[in-house]
Amino acid sequence: MLSGVPELPEVEAVRRRLRPVMAGHRFVRVIVNRPDLRVPFPPRFAARLTGRTALSVDRRAKYLVVPLSSGETLLMHLGMSGWFGVDVTREDPEDARHDHVVFRMSSGRAVTFNDPRRFGFMDLIAAGALGRHGVLGSLGPEPLSKAFDAEALAGAVTGRKTPLKVALLDQRTVAGLGNIYAAEALHVARLSPERRASTIVTRAGAPRPEARRLVNAIKQVLEEAIARQTRATYRAERFRVYGREGEPCRRASCRGIIVRRTQAGRSTFFCPVCQR
Ligand SMILES: [Zn+2]
């Protein structure tokens, strides 16, 4: 597997799976099997959830956001290896070793959080404090929202001398895009990851056609990836350029060969012929 780290499409797929099980239902029982994940659970975590209703299951970047009837918000992150199972049954008790949290809901369903490496986290945020919460406060627009358009992207990269892909990974530009889908979107948009970010806007700060292409490409690759989450497709078949160093470009009219470069410590893959 190229990358086990869940990116936005994986988290969105989890959200869509958990929503019917949790939203509108009470936490009947909360079982917490250890004191911490990446950081300790908040004080009285189970008690503050029990009896409360999950009002919805939302997502912000790669965070699952569950507003509660108490006014608090349950914030959850999958980390590197975390996953949520619904109505998990264990034949071998050893398989349950990494089941750290179980939510028994009034829907009659059970939601189990399993995380072998424990880089995930869960927190409870006070009413009204979500926007000021460390990680969430400085995030740019959601890539699939109307707020993320060519004008918003232009505003975020105006004057930026960093390479375009590095600017896309900056969470203030767009929330939760991630390394793989940034590379994929740049290929769809026929833009080099190495071009200076500010070259997709005019001197006055207005979006050039490249900015419009890139916004559309980002939405397209994410929506396709979310749709694929519901089908069992071999992971390597998912990507246009990511992980394909040395292979022919998949664009029908292009004879380029995919190359790999390192930018800001991350691998990027692109076609030097059709991406300019
Ligand atoms: Zn190409």
pLDDT of 3 strictly over 60: no
Residue % of the chain over a pLDDT of 90: 78
Q: Are 138 and 60 in contact (CB under 8 A)?
A: no
Query: Which tokens hold the place of 51?
Result: 């009896």
3-state secondary structure of 187: helix
DSSP state letter for 67: E
Question: Which whole-number Å values give the CA distances from 162 to 205, 222, 225, 269, in the listed order?
Answer: 16, 23, 27, 17
Which whole number is the average pLDDT over 227-232? Answer: 71
Ligand 1 centroid – CA 89 distance (Å)? 47
Q: Model's pTM, two decimal places?
A: 0.85
**What is the dihedral sign for C-alpha 118, 223, 60, 101?**
negative
Residue 173: CB atoms within 10 Å: 23
Ligand 1 centroid – CA 254 distance (Å)? 5
Selected residue with higher pLDDT from 31 and 93: 31
Which whole number is the average pLDDT over 57-71? Answer: 95
DSSP state letter for 237: G
3-state secondary structure of 224: helix
DSSP state letter for 245: T
Determine whether 73 is exposed, middle or buried from the number of CB atoms within 10 Å of its CB (0-12, 13-18, 19+).
buried
- Which residue's entry shows tokens 């009947």? 28
Q: Please state which of the ranges 74-78, 228-232, 256-260 shows the lowest mean pLDDT.
A: 228-232
Q: What mean pLDDT is reported for the chain?
A: 92
DSSP state letter for 175: T
Query: Which tokens hold the place of 4?
Result: 């086990």
pLDDT of 136 strictly over 60: yes
**Which sequence positions are flagged as catalytic?**
6-7, 62, 266
Ligand 1 centroid – CA 222 distance (Å)? 20
Nearest to 133 by CA among 94, 75, 71: 75
**What is the dihedral sign for C-alpha 48, 49, 54, 57?**
positive
Ligand 1 centroid – CA 236 distance (Å)? 19
Whole-angstrom distance, CA of residue 186 vs CA of residue 62: 21
Ligand 1 centroid – CA 143 distance (Å)? 25
Which whole number is the average pLDDT over 153-162? Answer: 96
Whole-angstrom distance, CA of residue 45 vs CA of residue 77: 16
Ligand 1 centroid – CA 39 distance (Å)? 44
Tell me what pLDDT residue 1 has: 35
Ligand 1 centroid – CA 218 distance (Å)? 18
